[in-house]
Amino acid sequence: MTRLNGKVSLVTGAAKGLGAAIAAAFVREGARVVLCDVDEAQGARLAEDLGPQAEFLPLDVRHEAEWIARLAEVDRRYGRLDILVNNAGVVRLGTIEDTSEADYRAVMAVSADGTFFGCKHAVPLIARSGGGAIVNLSSINAIQGNPPVTAYSAAKGAVSALTRAVAVHCHEQGYGIRCNAVLPSSIDTPMVRSVAQQTGAARTPAGRLGAPEDVAHLAVYLASDESAFMSGQCLVLDDTASVARSRA
């Protein structure tokens, strides 16, 4: 399949879960994929499994200097970047009353700060490559109240708002860069399973979790030229969770 044939992409949080599924889908569609994560062992194993179109580079998205260094390395190796997927994220349980400062800052640093730095430093490289796409992973928690994950909700709300700002900026500058966000509900990933074990609340109204591939399919569309007229959108992928009748 060739929907992303010849495109160079970078996916954060790619060692497992949604990032791994997106990376695998991109490879199947013909893209060269740079997998980035703090889990170097798992990330390197996955890149090897995915074959010659994939490679792993360590990246802690919380630190702007690391973003600068990794994107410079991508530029040296390939001379371009066409697609950025800001997927890295963490969750810490806590309501607005009991979330600690440390947990709040940890969650914001990965999801909000990491996405900000990724967009900031990838935009010039993608623009120089002739345009492309940024796909940010937000969450249904950005639009629904979910008290046990308050910090995560705030971080993902920031990701959604940033997506719109980046999209409009790139449009106004004529960069040819589209920026969209995916807002999944509960997907069957290690992070969601961990939260579910602690809260007992990780089901859609249909009573099932989504598959990582459900998100990957949408990411492929947003990264491909098929979505050439779509930018600044926050696309909910939730099996009716955001529109279902209240069970109260």
Alpha-helical runs (H) found in 81-226: 101-108, 114-128, 150-173, 190-199, 212-223
Bridge-based pairing of strands 54-58 and 234-237 is unpaired
With tokens 């992973």, the residue in question is: 137
Q: Report the distance separating Cα 67 and Cα 170, nearest Å.
A: 19
Beta bridge partners of 149: 94
Q: Report the distance separating Cα 208 and Cα 85, nearest Å.
A: 26
Is-catalytic flag, 104?
no
**Phi, psi dihedrals of residue 35, rounded to the nearest 5°:** -85, 130
Find the catalytic residue in 104, 152, 175, 221: 152
The set of residues, in sequence order, having a beta carbon less than 8 Å from that of 179 and lying 6+ positions away, is 119, 133, 134, 135, 136, 163, 166, 167, 170, 231, 232
Active site residues: 152
